[in-house]
Amino acid sequence: METPITQQPVMQTFRLLKFTFVIVPIVAGADKFTNLLTNWEQYLNPSIAGLLPFPASTFMMIVGIIEIIAGIIVLKKAEIGGYIVAAWLTSIALTLLAGFNYVDVAVRDLVMAISAFSMARLSRVAA
């Protein structure tokens, strides 16, 4: 069955957001092991780092695994994965805002969270 012409922009938007939220979490998660894109530990709120029973680098690797899993969930079940990614990005933004560090990154993560939430909502009509 062919998609009506009015449905095409919705489908295209959904596919673009899905592609984004599969690739970006997987790449960012994998980079937590290599720090090629950035030194991820710098974004860890110092008060949280002080509470950890292990090094910040270990924590960031755990974060990386979570992000990779989130990207895979988006690939398999976009609606569920979208809500997970949105919640994850919101929590990251809130921890950055709590320490008033990297406010620009926090704002960007909130915008990405809204996009992931929107993708999850679109998946109900586009999938």
- Residue % of the chain over a pLDDT of 70: 95
When computed from its CA atoms, the radius of gyration of the chain, rounded to whole angstroms, is: 16
On the 0-12 / 13-18 / 19+ scale of CB atoms within 10 A, 124 is exposed
Q: Is the pLDDT of residue 118 over 60?
A: yes
* pLDDT given at position 99: 85
What pLDDT is attached to residue 26?
A: 98
pLDDT of amino acid 6: 73
Which whole number is the average pLDDT over 9-27? 96
User: What does the block give as tokens for 95?
Assistant: 């921890």
Which residues lie below 8 Å from residue 22, measured CB to CB, with a gap of 6+? 71, 72, 74, 75
The total number of structural domains in the chain stands at 1
Structural domain of residue 67, as residue ranges? 5-35+44-126
Output the pTM of the full model: 0.89
